[in-house]
Structure 1
Amino acid sequence: MKRSTSAATLAASAGIFVLALAGCAGGSAGGAASTDEITAEDTGATLSLWVRPGNEAVTDAVVEAYNDTHENQIEITHVPADQYVTKFAQAAQSGSLPDILAADLVFMPQIIETGAALDITDLLDEAGALENLSPSHIMASTADERVYGVPYVADTSLYLYNKDLFTQAGLDPEAPPTTWGGIADAAAAITALGDGNKGFYLSGGAPGSLAYDFTPTIWAQGTEVVNEDGTFNWDNAATQDALAFLQQMYENGDIPDTAKTDAGDGFFAVFASGKIGINFAGGNGVNTATLGTDPEFDFGLAPIPGQNDGEFATFSGGDVAAITAGTEHPNEAWDFIQWLTSTETSEDVYFSLPALPPRTDVTAPDELGPQFTIPAELVKSGQTYVSPFYNEVVASAQGPFLEMFQSVVFNGADPAEATAKAQEASDAITE
């Protein structure tokens, strides 16, 4: 999932998807076409592919690698983020979707419900890929035990820590904290350095970012936030404890006030200033574009932990690629998907970019360094939200998820009262 997508865009998309659901034939996963007679063919067909912005370094490079080695040719359309869902809904209703659709994985439950994606479960199984793909992408692309999409772009949440500040604060820069208590202690020590340094940061006004890097603190305790029917589970001890953990750090002065209104612009940028000790963020931002070609400080990466040693979790986001049910080139579209999910493509294309690959049964080369190898390992145990109500409940700036988080962490509300309120509001949306 690309964190810079605005909350307003995501919130608006919920209503648009409702229109698509109402207007599309089939209206369910069961409406997708059969794949019994599909075989991979490289006939020289021209295929259309929609992608969202922000991930071009991966999406375009992968397509270029395919086009350079195949007779089939894929033409990419970059659909602006604030137009993507509207364009999908209109095309789904008019029968003018592209041959292949690449979308944020959190949108896949809605896309599957429209009947717009082809069931490729058996094809993936026969190709030997089904059990070896990024689990969060497959989780988001599955309905009634059938799979409708595959990983295209992968990212995963983790935390970054400033090794230079750790050293200055008397902390071991090679031993990042593995519990909430350790994070709180390290944050306090770094804040105590003064000179504008703060121990901890996250984008507290960005619901998409918080879904990405706050939710793992709940998952790490063994608690799910989404039920099997797509409803939400907020009113529980794990969510209350996670909120209280961050509330205490804010009250201690270890989180800057600006975090409350950060709608995502500071997701990596604030850490890049060199004044933050620990930043809950993601793997894709740990690159030269974010921290510069010559960072002024040394930093490390570590999993987002739970309360106790050995507990950790990660939100693995990114994009899913799906063959649309109405394509006139199903064999050629499958040729691309089969190539995309092959071991060779993960090793020869993705690692060479470098980018996190679709497959989890490949090993990232050590020479790529921990900035790549650590996220590559975390993806293998990634989780995500799977709910058609994600936009209204979680991603909306007016939704119960953000209200719950901000009321506790920044405004001092009682965690139990806030989670009960969020539960009631979420139930009203999903009932």
Structure 2
Amino acid sequence: MSRKLIAVATAGVLAAVLAACGGGSPGPAPQGGQDAGPVTITMWTRAATQAQSQRLVDAYNKSHKNQVKLTVIPTDNYQPRIAAAAGAKQLPDVFAADVIFVPNYTSQGLFLDITDRVAKLPFKDSLAPSHMKLGTYDGRMYTLPHTLDLSVWFWNKDLYAKAGLDPEKGPTTLKEFAEQATTVQEKLGKDGKIHGTFFGGNCGGCYVFTFWPSVWAAGGQVMNEDGTQSLVNQSPMTDVFQTYRTLYDNGVTGPTTKEEQGPTWTGFFPKGTIGVMPMPSTTLGLMPKDMKIGVAPIAGPDGGESTFVGGDSVGISATSQHPDAAWDFLSWTVSDEAQVEVMAKNKDVPARTDLANNKYSAADPRVVLINSLVAKGQTPYALKFGQTFNDPQGPWLRFAREAVFGDPSKLASLNGAIDSSLQQ
């Protein structure tokens, strides 16, 4: 997840390649017809979701005559590879993509229209709503949810107990989050080894993943609906920034917070040195076995619940010669069998809201809570998302750093720069 968060979008490269090959709007479906016999389809995924993709492919191949050949591409090289393959009309039959960048691909016609196929799924209304929203273009559907990663608050129960806090009661508002982090710092942080909280202060994607859910939980938005105008210079976003600015000014955050660029931002909590902080949900299963961890939804200043629904979506390429075989695989990946016996069994978040509480998640209330947030979370939509919010040289990171560490008087002009980037 962290690699996703800090990845620099190459949407400009994609657009240039597609323009050269005439991409613009989704084209007609290939006329491949029904495959006569067992076929092998090709699939690409980025390294960030290799484990989940490989498990799904292996399970499918063991139980089906059709087969899937998976190719894993380094995450940082994934978008350029997709762009080059699109330009050469050599896309695989199926490819997954970071859900944030799916609108770029749907708008350029890289995916096959699967609207009619999705409509026949008995559980169509339970598919992760934020992923389905970003995979819809001009009222037509092009992708299914593939993997999900959510942002939540983790708190260290042992540190809470030592600090005199109730270890079974995590924060229910951003104000409580700040109060509890401050208590941990004041009670346990004198030797400089324990810190109240931590965040990626020099990482645009980290701010998006961990701060924006507090805005949504408060009923606000960070952009207009079509992703062309920034709303980050107004409440509740400014209230969220002020909370974290106060935590930093008061020495409640880790000492490297201001410099943290992303690669190591999730590495401090597992060491047992942080009281409470926002984390990717997928890291819960990677925590030390003897570590007592509480999990809470990210809240707004005065309450509410939300999450950033990240991960990947997957679709059939518009040039696939085996669309029926490709759909057989894709539809199976969101079936009860795949979602429970492959995804949930391995502690991954199901792509369907009706399977949030299943026989595997039921053993851990924290997992049930995480799964339930899929229906409450959001995934922001903007065609220029990468260059605006993920790029370390983009305007969002400059805005966020001034809001938390610098001069708030610069925010009006910096918000204008975000607008300009979104509208390019």
TM-score, with structure 2 as normaliser: 0.93
Q: What is the CA-CA distance between 1:404 and the residue it aligns to?
A: 1.3
Residues 69-117 of structure 1: CA distance to partner in whole angstroms, max 9, x if unpaired? 1111100111112211111111101100000011111110111121010
Contact kept, 8 Å, 2:98 with 2:313, in 1: the verdict is yes
- The answer for the alignment partner of 1:410 in structure 2 is 405
The answer to whether the 8 A contact 1:227-1:233 is kept is: yes
What does residue 5 of structure 1 align with? 4
**Deviation readout 1:319-376 (Å, 9 max, x if unpaired):** 1111001100011001111111223321222222231122111123345413422211
Instruction: Note if contact 2:30-2:321 (Cα within 8 Å) is conserved in structure 1.
Output: no
Equivalent in 412, 418, 422 of residue 420 of structure 1: 412
Please list every run of 5 or more consecutive structure 1 residues that lacks an aligned counterpart in the other structure: none
- SS of 2:345 mapped into structure 1: coil
How far 1:257 sits from its partner (Å)?
2.9
Offset, 1:211 = 1.2
The counterpart of 1:183, out of the listed 156, 177, 188, is 177
The aligned residue for residue 421 of structure 2 is 429
Q: Identity over the aligned pairs, expressed in percent?
A: 33
| Letter matched to residue 3 of structure 1 | S
Which residue of structure 1 aligns with residue 75 of structure 2?
Answer: 81
Query: Partner of 1:215 in structure 2?
Result: 212
Q: What is the alpha-carbon distance in structure 1 between the residues aligned to residue 318 and residue 236 of structure 2?
A: 40
Task: Sort the Cα spacing of 1:102 and 1:388 in 2 relative to 1 into closer, same or farther, 3 A.
Answer: same
SS at match of 1:156: strand
Residue in 2 aligned with 1:239?
A: 237
1:32-431 equivalences under 5 Å are 32-33=28-29, 43-192=37-186, 193-194=188-189, 195=191, 196-231=193-228, 232-288=230-286, 291-292=287-288, 294-295=289-290, 297-309=291-303, 311-362=304-355, 363-365=357-359, 366-411=361-406, 413-414=407-408, 417-431=409-423
CA change 1:418–1:63 in 2 (3 A) is: farther
Q: Residue 399 of structure 2 aligns to which amino acid in structure 1? A: M
**Structure 2 residue identity aligned to 1:191:** Q
Is residue 202–residue 281 contact of structure 1 (8 Å, CA) maintained in 2?
no
Q: Residue 112 of structure 2 contacts residue 315 of structure 2 at CA under 8 Å; is this kept in 1?
A: yes
Paired residue secondary structure (2:338): helix
8 Å CA contact 1:151, 1:319 repeated in 2: yes
Q: SS state of the match for residue 398, structure 1? A: coil
Contact 1:157 1:212 in 2 (8 A): yes
Post-superposition shift, 1:200?
1.1
Per-residue CA deviation, residues 112-147 of structure 1 (Å, 9 max, x unaligned), is 121010111221111223311111211221112221
For 1:383 and 1:144, locate their aligned partners in 2 and report how far apart those are by CA, in whole Å: 20
Q: Contact 2:23–2:108 at 8 Å: present in 1 too?
A: yes
Question: Residue 180 of structure 1 contacts residue 307 of structure 1 at CA under 8 Å; is this kept in 2?
Answer: yes
State the distance in 2 between where 1:328 and 1:102 align.
17
Listed one character per residue, the Cα deviations across residues 287-321 of structure 1 (whole Å, up to 9, x for unaligned) are 23xx23x34x3111101110113x12100111111
Confirm or deny: 8 A CA contact 2:385 2:422 kept in the other structure.
no
1:56 CA drift (Å): 2.0
Q: In the aligned structure 1, how far is the partner of 2:389 from the partner of 2:258?
A: 17
* Whole-angstrom distance in 2 between the partners of 1:105 and 1:24: 24
- On the 8 A contact 1:198/1:277 being kept in 2, the answer is yes
Q: Secondary structure at the match of 1:101?
A: strand
Q: CA deviation at 1:43?
A: 3.2
Shift of 1:407: 1.1
1:23 Cα deviation (Å)? 2.5
Q: Provide structure 2 residue ranges, at least 5 long, that are not aligned to the other structure.
A: none
CA distance in 2, matches of 1:369, 1:101: 32
CA contact (8 A) 1:45 1:73 kept: yes
- Supply the AA of the counterpart residue of 1:345: A
**Cα drift, residue 273 of structure 1:** 1.5
Alpha-carbon distance change, 226 to 23 in structure 1, aligned in 2, over 3 angstroms: farther
Extract structure 1 runs of 4+ deviating beyond 6 A. Answer: none
Change over 3 Å in CA distance of 1:112–1:236 after alignment to 2: same
Q: 1:423 to 1:182 in 2, by over 3 A?
A: same
> Within 1, Cα distance between the matches of 2:181 and 2:252?
6
Shift of 1:229: 2.3
State whether residues 233 and 415 of structure 2, in contact with CA within 8 Å, keep that contact through their aligned partners in structure 1.
Answer: yes
| Residues 32 and 380 of structure 1, relative CA distance in 2, 3 Å threshold | farther
The count of aligned residue pairs is 417
SS in structure 2 at match of 1:198? coil
- Worse overlay, 237-246 or 417-426: 417-426
Q: Return the offset for 1:213.
A: 1.0
CA RMSD of aligned residues (A): 1.9
SS of 1:388's equivalent in the other structure is coil
Distance 2:268 2:346 in 1: 26
TM (norm. structure 1) is 0.92
CA distance in 2, matches of 1:385, 1:208: 12
**Secondary structure at the counterpart of residue 205 of structure 1:** coil
